[in-house]
Amino acid sequence: MRYNKNALVLMTSAAALTLGSVGLAQADTLEDTLDRGEVRCGVSDGLPGFSAPDDDGNWQGIDVDVCRAVAAAVFGDSEAVTYTSLTAQERFTALQSGEVDVLSRNTTWTTTRDTTLGLNFTGVTFYDGQGFLVSKDIGISSAEELDGASVCVQSGTTTELNLADYFDANDMEFDPIVFDTSEQTVGGFEAGRCDVLTSDTSQLAALRIQLDDPDSAEVLPEVISKEPLGPVVRQGDDKWFNIVKWSLFAMLNAEEYGVDSENVDDMLDSENPSIARLLGEDGNYGEEMGLEADWAYNIIAQVGNYAESYDRNVGMDSPLEIERGVNRLWTDGGIHYAPPIR
Amino acid sequence: MSVRPQTRSPDSKPPFWRDRTKRALLAQCLLLAALAALVVFIIHNTQENLASRGITTGLGFLDDTAGFGIGQTLIDYSSNSTYGRTFIVGLLNTLLVSGLGVLAATIIGFTVGIARLSPNWLIARLANGYIEIFRNIPLLLQIFFWYFAVLQSLPSARESMSLGEVIFLNIRGLYLPQPQFLSGFGLIPVVMMAAFIASIALIVWNRRRHAATGKRLPTIWLSLGMIIGLPLLVLVVTGVPVTWEVPELGGFNFSGGVTIIPELLALWLALSIYTASFIAEIVRSGIQSISHGQTEAALALSLPGKLVLRLVIIPQALRVIIPPLTSQYLNLIKNSSLATAIGYPDLVSVFAGTTLNQTGQAIEVIAMTMAVYLTISLLVSMFMNWFNARVALVER
C-alpha cells in the first residue's frame, strides 16, 4: 500500500539521518557504486515517457535513460541499475539519506531544492512548463477563464506553488484538491471531482493518453511556469556529481556531433577531434573522472544520444508525441547546450 | 580453634552492593544514564549528519511563505500565509474530522450495541451483521469505498441533486445555506448563555432539594425549554434578524453557503462507521457484564424499566465500557491520518505532506506531527481517565 510505503521510506530515511554514521556525506559514491556493482537510481511511480515500467517490467523513459547512461559510463553496462520508485514526497529524503545515489525523477530545479536540501542538480534533461488539462465539456479555451475552478494537483510538487501563484496573480479563486500520486490525480479528474488537472505539460500529455477517453480532454495553451527537469545528486561528492553531469552532457554532445548508437563504431575512426575526444580516442577525460576512457562510447552505444532518447521516449516515436520545441539543441534553435569535452 | 572471619556488628551497614535496594537504585541510575546518553548521541549525530550534508535545520521555515492553496480551511488562509499557518490549518482539519468522528461513532456505536441485545430478532441480527461487516474490512478500503465508489458517483455540479433548491449535493460536495446574522442578533447568544447558567443553577438547586425533601422537578425538560425557548422567543420578538445565503450555481460550481467537501464526508463516514462497530461490541460486553441479578433486584424494587437501565445497568456497565472506549477514540483520531489517501487536507496531508516536501525539513516536520498526535491522544486519554475515575465504583 502506497501510504505505508510512504511512511516507511520517510521513517527509514529519518533513521538513517539520526542513527547513520557521521561522514557518510564525504563518502565516495563512485567507490561504493563500483563495490555494489550497480547504480541506485530513484525514479517516479510511473510516468510514461519519463520513467515507467514497460510490459516486461523494464523501466523505460527519458529519466531512466539518464540512470542507464550513468551505469554505462561507470560499468560499461547500461543495465547495471536498480530502480527505486518514489513518490514526489519521498524523493528528496530518499536521496538525502543515501537510499538512492541519483534521483532522476522529473524533478524541477529550484533554489530551495538546490540550496537548503543539501542537493545538487546536475543539469537539465527536459525543459518543461506547467499547463492545464480540462475536459472539453466545460467549453473553456483559456486558463484565464478558470476563476472558481476546482483543480486536481499532485502533492509535493512545484506545481502546487505555481498554481497558487498563477491564480493570485490573475486575481482568481480556486479550490485545490491535492492527491498523493498521479493515478489518484487522474482518477479525481476523470470522476469529475475537479474541473482542471494541472501538471507539467509533458506530464499532461502522458496523463491524457491514460484517460479512458483521451479525446474528451484537451491541454490549454497557457504555460504558466518554467520547469527545468533534471537529475539530482547529494551535495558534497563532486566526483559523483561530475560523472552524472557529464553522462548527460555526453548524450547532448553526441547529438551535436552527429554520433548515435548506429554509427558510433564507425565514428571511432572519425577525423573530427571533438568526436575523438568524446569517444576516448584522444585525451584521458574518462580517467580524470575516475572512469574508463570509453565511458562516453558506452553511453552512446548502449543508450544512444539525446535525440534518440527523446524520440524513443517522449518524441514522435512514442505515444506522447511531444514536439522537440525548446528541447532542441542550441544549434537547432532550442536551449540545450552542453559544455564541450576538452 | 579456627579464626573466625572478621564480622560486622549487627548495626553497621552492609556494603552497598549487598544492599538490594541500593543495588536496584544503582541499576536504574545506570539505565537512565545510558538512555540519556543515547538520546544525546542521536541528537548530536543527527545535527552532525544534517550539517555535513548541507541540509538546513531548525524551525525557521515556519515563518516562510507557504505559497500553496488548501482545499478546506477553518481559519483565514491564503497562499501568502506562512508554513506555521499551514500547520494550524491542518491541525484544525484533523481535529474537525476527529471530533465529528468521535461524536458519530459514539452515537452509532451505542445504538447498535444496544440493538444487538434487543429481544427483537430482526433488529439484533441486523446489528450483528453491521458489526461483523464493518469491523472486518480494513479501514483504508472503507475510506476508498465511500470516496471512490459512493461519493464519486454523485452527479456533476450542473446536475446536482437538490432538496427544495436550498441544499445541493453533487460530486464536489454538500452545499448548505449559511445563516447571515444581521444587527440585533447579538442579543441571542447572550440570552442563550443566561438560560444556560440559569439551567445549571436549577439543576444544582433541584439536586439539593431532592436530597433534602425527596421531591424533584423534571429539570432536563425545564432546562431544554429555557435554552431553546428563550432565544427563540427573543428571535421572534426582534423580528428574526437572520437571512440565509443560499448556494448558487455560477461558473464552475456553487458559490455561497457552506460547503462540506466530499473528502470530509467520506473520511467522516468511514471513520465513524468503522469505529462504531467496535464501540458497539464494547457497549454490548459492558451491558452483558452486569449480572442479571441486578436487573431482577431493581425490578423487585419496582423500579420502572426505563430507570432500571438508566440508574442500575448503565452506570455499572460504563465502568467496563470506558477504558476500551478510550482506546477506540484514540484509534479514531490516529486513523484520521489516512485522510491523505483521498486528499482530505488534514495535518498529515497538508503539513507532513506538502509542507514537508516544499521545505524538505523532514525531521522537524515529522517530529512536530508526531508530537501533535501524541499530545492529542494524551489529552483525550487524560480526560477519559478522569471520566473513568468519576464513574468508577466507589467502594466503601
Among B235-244, B346-355, B358-367, the least confident range: B235-244
**Which amino acid, residue A46?**
G
Quote the ipTM score: 0.72
Between B38 and A214, whose confidence is greater?
Answer: B38
Residue A180 grid cell: 498523493
**Cβ contact (<8 Å) for B45 and A19?**
yes
Nearest Cα to Cα of residue A134 among A51, A199, A53, A71: A199
* pLDDT for A20: 59
- Looking at beta carbons, which residues of chain A come within 8 Å of B252? 138, 146, 148-150, 195
Domain membership flag for residue A336 = no
Residue pair A205/A319 in contact by the 8 Å Cβ criterion: no
Query: Residue A4 — pLDDT band, cuts 50, 70, 90?
Result: very low
Best of A17, A91, A144 to disrupt the B interface (most B CBs within 10 Å) is: A17
Q: Is residue B51 part of a domain?
A: no
Residue A10 lies in a domain: no
Whether A121 and A166 map to the same domain: the answer is no
B297, part of any domain: yes
Three cell numbers, residue B340: 491523505
CA B14, B17, B22: angle at the middle one, nearest 5? 90
Identify the residue among B80, B144, B358, B368 best suited for mutation to test binding to A, counting A beta carbons within 10 A and taking the highest.
Answer: B358
CATH number at residue B340: 1.10.3720.10
In a domain, A171, yes or no: yes
Q: Of the candidates A117, A94, A102, A91, which has an alpha carbon nearest to the alpha carbon of residue A13? A: A94
In a domain, A8, yes or no: no
What pLDDT score does A283 carry? 86
Considering its fold, how many domains does chain A have in total?
2
Q: What is the greatest pairwise CA distance in chain B?
A: 114
Contacts of B360 in chain A (CB under 8 A): 92-93, 96, 112-113, 116-117
pTM assigned to the model: 0.78
pLDDT score for B9: 60
Specify if A39 maps to a domain: yes
A265-274, B185-194, B364-373: the lowest-pLDDT one = B185-194
Q: Hey, which residues does A334 pair with through a beta bridge? A: none
If 0-12 CB within 10 Å is exposed, 13-18 middle and 19+ buried, where does residue B150 land? Answer: middle
Give the CATH number for residue A36.
3.40.190.10
- Among the listed ranges A43-52, A246-255, B173-182, B338-347, which one has the minimum average pLDDT value? B173-182
Same domain assignment for residues A119 and A237: yes
Torsion angle of alpha carbons A226, A228, A229, A234, nearest 10°?
Answer: -120
Say if residue A193 is in the same domain as residue A247.
Answer: no
Number of domains in chain B: 1
In this structure, the strands spanning B248-250 and A39-43 are unpaired
Those residues whose C-beta lies under 8 Å from the C-beta of residue B47, and which sit 6 or more positions away, are: B57
| Same-domain pairing of A119 and A245 | yes
DSSP codes of every residue in B32-84: HHHHHHHHHHHHHHHHHHHHHTTB--SSGGGGSB-----S--SS---TTSBHH
Least confident range from B145-154, B160-169, B295-304: namely B160-169
- Whole-number pLDDT of residue A185: 86
Looking at per-residue pLDDT, the higher value among B368 and B161 belongs to B368
Query: Is B257 in CB contact (< 8 Å) with chain A?
Result: no
Answer whether residue A14 is part of any domain.
Answer: no
Is the pLDDT score of A227 beyond 70?
yes
Report residue B38: phi and psi, to 5°.
-65, -45
- Please indicate, yes or no, if residue A331 is contained in any of the structural domains: no
pLDDT tens digits for range A96-121 = 888 999 999 989 999 888 988 889 99
pLDDT of A264 over the 80 cut: yes
Q: In the prediction, which pLDDT does B396 show? A: 61
Q: Residues B174, B168: contact at Cβ < 8 Å?
A: yes
Can you give the residue range of the structural domain that contains A81? 30-127+228-324
Task: Provide the pLDDT for residue A64.
Answer: 96
Separation CA B54–CA B48 (nearest Å): 10
What average pLDDT is seen over chain B?
86
Q: Could you give the percent of chain B with pLDDT greater than 70?
A: 95
Contacts of B56 in chain A (CB under 8 A): 115-118
Chain segment B206-261, per-residue pLDDT in tens: 888 888 887 777 777 888 888 888 888 887 877 777 777 788 777 777 777 788 88
- Comparing A25-34, A188-197, A312-321, B20-29, which segment has the lowest mean pLDDT? A25-34
Question: Contact A232/A121 with Cβ under 8 angstroms?
Answer: yes
CB B313 within 8 A of CB B327: no
